[in-house]
Homo-oligomer: A and B are copies of this chain.
Amino acid sequence: VSDFTFDWDREARTGTAEAVLCAPKTSAQIAAILAEAAGAHKRLLLTRLAADQHADLPEALRALLDFDPLSRTAILGSPHGGTPVQGALIVAAGTADLFAAREAARTLEFHGHAAPVVADVGVAGLWRLTAQIERLRAARVLIVAAGMEGALFSVIAGLVAAPVIALPTSVGYGISAGGTVALHAALASCAPGVLVVNIDNGFGAAVSAIKILHLSNGGP
């Protein structure tokens, strides 16, 4: 038995299911959690599962997982059935930000949401962004992934009426290494209506988007 106390009731209580953050856990701890969930026939989302952590899992458990190396996510159990909920749009400033955008997309899909991604629309070539303006304005909530100086958060928030969830990424170097410049830019945005999550927290951005969209469908 694992040391992990599952909060199976979380989805009923807060609207989204518990997920397992794998990065700080040992492979033995992850395997114990997976075995317990599989034994209980539960669906489970794993985030920050590095390729070598995944490779260290027992073959039998690995066979149960849908693993995506770019986003470092794995899903235990069958895909979410039914028609995907529409409304969310994910924007990635550059190719390098796709890993975080994809973590958000996988989280949305796990919960039964559509998760389209618009990639490589950084502000250094503004025309790439304005070419997508209608698509941006049609979304009911936007997740914007950007590293470096994070100018994209403010530019998009000034163009659309929907709430913008800024997902700063760790993409950068020198003064922007690790993503704090993008994070701070999101928090300091001169465009009101920017809501911010931790660096690379695609999971948290998606969970928040789900809660926001849930509202427009009659909840809570």
How many chain copies does the complex carry?
A: 8
Number of interface residues of A (CB under 8 A): 103
Chain A 103-145 per-residue mask, 1 if CB under 8 angstroms from chain B, else 0: 0000000000000000111111111100000000100110000
Complex interface residues of chain A between 163 and 220 (CB less than 8 A to chain B): 163, 165, 168, 170-201, 203-204, 207-208, 211-216, 218-220
Closest-CB distance, A85 to chain B (whole angstroms): 13
Q: Do A149 and B219 touch (CB < 8 A)?
A: no
Q: Do B215 and A158 touch (CB < 8 A)?
A: no
Interface status of A15 (Cβ within 8 A of chain B): yes
Interface status of A39 (Cβ within 8 A of chain B): no
Q: Do A199 and B175 touch (CB < 8 A)?
A: yes
Q: Do A23 and B173 touch (CB < 8 A)?
A: yes
Closest-CB distance, A103 to chain B (whole angstroms): 12
Output the residue of A7, A155, A211 with the most chain B CB within 10 A: A211
Complex interface residues of chain A between 13 and 35 (CB less than 8 A to chain B): 13-16, 18-19, 21, 23-26, 29, 33
